[in-house]
Chains A and B, each alone.
Chain A
């Protein structure tokens, strides 16, 4: 880079930056686009953020009103009925909110944990161990990522009906315990995160394969495993198609319960949207605490394609 060379027009551009921090940063790596953008960029980003947040806020406004609040003129200010609306969602016998919440929590947790374990194991083998048929199997796994879940639901339903598991949460956990994407993700990550020398060193020191996996592989896999856990958790929590098929009113997950909220002929949107907010709060909390990880997970996955 031209930092070391003779002054170029770039250096002049750098001189123009009044911001001290930016200049210091610029001194290390000259970035033409590194200058701080004007207010219009922040205005645009605020609009994007507002577009994302507005439907949620509006749902809260309507969800804290009463049955006629949708007909009243638009307002930004929430009403005072959120808790009573939430209470009528929670006590609605057709919806089974508390079982749905608990089902969503524990099924998503188990699914995410199982996917992380099976994917880390398989990813380690594909990325770092040489075995007959390994590369071909990996290609096969990646290819199955294009298969829609609709292709499996009919036999799965027949299978679970035979076992008497329809309506049971097991019927949504079992099919989700593995993920082709998860294996692909862990393979990609471990391939670049662990140098082969480290594994050889561990082997020379007399570590068994399992010990090598545990001390070298699992340690290195932690950041990627955490992200895989997050994404699988969010995906399982939001999944609707298969749970909607195999579960029933008595024992739903949250999305299934939500869809039942408006299944009456007359729809009271203040109740429906109060339910929506209630069901979204857990993931909003997750987003506040782990949003940063979600962002870097998406961006890391994208670079590798």
Chain B
């Protein structure tokens, strides 16, 4: 390389010409520029692409959401908040919001409990660790659309696997598609199927980071495995649990693939039983071809995600405050100790 070759030269020159420090060799100048510009060069491919396909669309969605977009002329006329008002006055929107939250809760809560349980089992000193870890991750590689199609067959109202089994037991079939609640259960099952193992592995990693000395101490103190789990493992998982909850919130509120393939029409059911926010957004944008409303819908979805994120943050803060309380207690004890020490000092000086 040129720089490598020219270095010894510069070094050799410096002692000879100490009075000309301003003369900087070309390679040195090049090296200086190299140092200054390189970081920006390295981040530029990302940021240029990101600006075009990430940032510009987000900003432009905001612009379009205040417009009545004309598809033919490919331009819009400004109409203020009308699109937002239109969406917020649609009963379908509120149904979609309720469905989305219902599916989200039905998927995230059982999923978290199951994932913690699976992680706790994997955390034992089992044989063939890699095999078992891989085995819980298997559903993750199946595409959500494929999962959706499989479970749509499993939860088919007539002749579906679950209803057939219920029939064999002499029970009546469950109206998986007709009843909103049961359709949410079916869709939540698809989500749980795909993500439980994934989250279990994240929680497993967090469990393995817990200092094993705690468990030793607990065993010495006579705490059984159950007590150890609730008093050591679970509290140590808190930050990771929050991480998992936040990521599954962001993903869960955007749910589209599974409800889209839950029947052959993909419009959330005849009575909007499983219409979700993103399904509704798709229907407004590419069913009714109203881009202004779809853009407004996208921003409403974003605001909802931000709100839920804020609530998550508040929860995080309470947890941090918990730790603070513990510190405060010790502070109080410290003060107490200091007071006693002072007393002792006074007595000693007397």
Interface positions of A (Cβ within 8 A of B): 1-2, 8-10, 13, 22, 29-37, 41-42, 44-45, 48-49, 51-53, 55-56, 58-59, 62, 70-71, 73-74, 117-119, 121-122, 124-126, 129-131, 134, 137, 141, 144, 146-159, 161-162, 174-175, 177-178, 180, 183, 205-211, 213, 234, 237-238, 240-241, 244-245, 254-255, 258-259, 261-265, 267, 269, 272-273, 276, 279-280, 283-284, 286-287, 291-292, 294-295, 298-303, 305
A80 shortest CB reach to chain B, Å? 20
Flag if A150 contacts B281 (CB, 8 Å): yes
Residue of B nearest to A285 (CB): B141
Flag if B143 contacts A55 (CB, 8 Å): no
Cβ of B295 within 8 Å of any chain A Cβ, yes or no, is: yes
Query: Which of A41, A74, A298 interacts with B205 by CB under 8 Å?
Result: A298
Chain A residues with CB under 8 A of B152 = 262
Given contacts A32-B212, A62-B153, A259-B260, contact A122 B294 (CB under 8 A): no
Given contacts A125-B42, A158-B291, contact A237 B143 (CB under 8 A): yes
- 22 residue pairs of the A-B complex, CB under 8 angstroms, read A13-B219, A29-B212, A37-B125, A42-B126, A48-B136, A73-B164, A121-B46, A125-B38, A131-B40, A141-B50, A148-B250, A154-B64, A156-B53, A157-B285, A175-B53, A209-B35, A255-B143, A258-B145, A280-B143, A295-B133, A298-B202, A303-B206
Cβ of B254 within 8 Å of any chain A Cβ, yes or no, is: yes
Chain B residues with CB under 8 A of A147 = 54, 58, 302
Most buried by A among B58, B125, B215: B125
Flag if B220 contacts A129 (CB, 8 Å): no
Interface positions of B (Cβ within 8 A of A): 1, 3-4, 7, 31, 34-36, 38-40, 42-43, 45-47, 49-50, 53-58, 60-61, 64, 74, 118, 121-127, 130, 132-147, 149-154, 156, 159-161, 164-165, 193, 197-198, 201-206, 208-209, 212-213, 215-216, 219-220, 239-240, 243, 250, 253-254, 256-257, 260-261, 264, 266, 278, 281-282, 285-286, 291, 294-295, 297-299, 301-302, 305-306, 309
Flag if B142 contacts A56 (CB, 8 Å): yes
Chain A residues with CB under 8 A of B156 = 70, 269
Whole-angstrom distance between the alpha carbons of A272 and B126 in the complex?
Answer: 38
Flag if B39 contacts A45 (CB, 8 Å): no
Known contacts A70-B159, A148-B298, then 17 further A-B pairs from the complex at CB < 8 Å, ordered by chain A residue: A44-B121, A52-B193, A70-B153, A70-B156, A137-B43, A150-B278, A151-B298, A152-B61, A153-B294, A154-B64, A211-B1, A240-B145, A245-B286, A258-B146, A263-B266, A300-B205, A305-B240
Chain A residues with CB under 8 A of B254 = 148-150, 241
Chain A residues with CB under 8 A of B201 = 295, 298-299, 302
Query: Which of A208, A279, A303 interacts with B209 by CB under 8 Å?
Result: A303
Chain B residues with CB under 8 A of A30 = 216
Given contacts A52-B135, A158-B74, contact A146 B309 (CB under 8 A): yes
Most buried by A among B142, B294, B305: B142
Chain A residues with CB under 8 A of B216 = 2, 10, 30, 32
Whole-angstrom distance between the alpha carbons of A180 and B134 in the complex?
Answer: 27
Given contacts A122-B46, A300-B205, A305-B243, contact A155 B64 (CB under 8 A): yes
Whole-angstrom distance between the alpha carbons of A231 and B332 in the complex?
Answer: 49
Given contacts A148-B301, A208-B1, A238-B144, contact A295 B58 (CB under 8 A): no
Flag if A302 contacts B240 (CB, 8 Å): yes
Residue of B nearest to A115 (CB): B46
Query: Which of B134, B138, B208, B220 interacts with A10 by CB under 8 Å?
Result: B220
Residue of B nearest to A44 (CB): B121
Flag if B215 contacts A33 (CB, 8 Å): yes
Given contacts A74-B164, A125-B42, A152-B57, contact A52 B139 (CB under 8 A): yes
Query: Which of A45, A58, A279 interacts with B143 by CB under 8 Å?
Result: A279
Whole-angstrom distance between the alpha carbons of A298 and B198 in the complex?
Answer: 7
Whole-angstrom distance between the alpha carbons of A208 and B42 in the complex?
Answer: 14
Whole-angstrom distance between the alpha carbons of A134 and B58 in the complex?
Answer: 22
Chain A residues with CB under 8 A of B298 = 148, 150-151, 153-154
Given contacts A31-B212, A258-B145, contact A55 B151 (CB under 8 A): yes
Please provide the 10 A-B residue pairs with the shortest distance between their CB atoms, ordered closest to farther.
Answer: A152-B57, A131-B39, A209-B38, A155-B60, A302-B202, A299-B205, A125-B42, A302-B205, A49-B135, A155-B57
Residue of A nearest to B304 (CB): A148
Query: Which of A148, A261, A295 interacts with B134 by CB under 8 Å?
Result: A295
Chain A residues with CB under 8 A of B260 = 240, 244, 259
Whole-angstrom distance between the alpha carbons of A151 and B299 in the complex?
Answer: 6
Chain B residues with CB under 8 A of A149 = 254
Whole-angstrom distance between the alpha carbons of A45 and B299 in the complex?
Answer: 42
Query: Which of B39, B53, B149, B240 interacts with A152 by CB under 8 Å?
Result: B53
Chain B residues with CB under 8 A of A41 = 121, 124, 126
Flag if B257 contacts A255 (CB, 8 Å): yes
Given contacts A152-B54, A259-B266, A299-B204, contact A53 B153 (CB under 8 A): no
Whole-angstrom distance between the alpha carbons of A254 and B150 in the complex?
Answer: 15
Whole-angstrom distance between the alpha carbons of A235 and B36 in the complex?
Answer: 36
Given contacts A45-B135, A206-B1, A303-B206, contact A37 B261 (CB under 8 A): no
Whole-angstrom distance between the alpha carbons of A294 and B146 in the complex?
Answer: 20
Flag if B49 contacts A118 (CB, 8 Å): yes
